[in-house]
A and B are shown apart, each in its own frame.
Chain A
Amino acid sequence: MDRSSEQLVLKTDLLNSEPKQLHIDYDRQLDTLFLFLGDGPAPQSVACYLRDGVFALFDPESMQVVGFQVEEWQATFLKKQPGLMATWKKSQWFVRPPARPADVRQGVYRMIRPFAPSGTPGLQCGSVAS
């Protein structure tokens, strides 16, 4: 039942509309960052692996991309994004404070957004992109 060669076509309308609300949660124990296109975690989601530790999170009913999950956030991903690393450290999120500065939210979003290029008919998830 391995679906590693199959592709899902995900809808990217929310991404394309430049979401006004972004919810970010960093789980230090997992070293995983969650970015949701809304004011909190999506009520339901499935993770579809893109590349470099980045998953697209999509609603399994609407097939809309509702967020991202980035594994090895500090260990690997941030090290490839020096500009974002500086912003991240300044934000002092390591203790998960309740307030997330808007510039950091937008900075994270701009770094992750290119992992899900919009196209026709939508994001082809599962393609061997590298």
Chain B
Amino acid sequence: MLFVATDRWSRTIHCTKVQWRDHVCSHHPHLVDWGEYARQTIEDPDAVLFDAHHKDCESFYRSGMLPGVYWQFYLKVVVRFEDHSGQVVTAYVTDRYKAEERIKWIAHRSS
């Protein structure tokens, strides 16, 4: 297991090393050591959005946390839920929320 996280709705989310290797790092190799950032994104996101195509998936977004040139961008972590627990499906860096996704929850942070 790479990490276990608990989101703001007290759902337990697992991320396996195999999933991170085969479905994150194989396409985005710079994320190889970013499991901890993914855990933080799930536990303290800027926003959580419903996936546009899969009812059982939600996307967690967090910015201002990644190192170096990535600081300004979001880490997006996609989680598939069943009952009250979830599995990380994939993750990547993006510059914005995906247009077709619907907001479930958004943080109101003081700047």
Interface residues of A (CB under 8 A from B): 1-4, 6, 8, 25, 27, 29-30, 32, 34, 41, 43-49, 51, 55, 60-61, 69, 71-72, 75-76, 125-126
Which chain A residues lie closer than 8 Å to B28 at the CB level?
41, 45
CB neighbours of B90 from chain A (8 A): 30, 32
Q: Would you call A60 and B70 a contact (CB within 8 A)?
A: yes
Asked if A41 contacts B27 (CB within 8 A), the reply is yes
- Among all A-B residue pairs, the 4 with the closest Cβ atoms: A47-B94, A44-B30, A60-B69, A3-B96
Q: A1-B64, A43-B30 are in contact. Are A75 and B98 (CB under 8 A)?
A: no
Does B84 reach chain A (CB closer than 8 Å)? no
* Contact A126 B73, beta carbon cutoff 8 Å: no
Q: Which residue of A lies closest to B51 (CB)?
A: A71
B24 to chain A, nearest CB (A): 10
A-B CB contact pairs (8 Å), 15 listed: A1-B63, A1-B64, A2-B96, A4-B96, A6-B96, A27-B27, A29-B89, A41-B28, A41-B29, A43-B29, A44-B69, A49-B94, A60-B70, A75-B53, A126-B95
Q: How far is the CA of A45 from the CA of B93 in the complex (A)?
A: 7
10 A-B pairs besides A27-B23, A43-B29, A76-B53 with CB distance below 8 A are: A3-B95, A25-B26, A30-B23, A44-B69, A46-B70, A46-B94, A47-B95, A49-B96, A49-B98, A61-B69
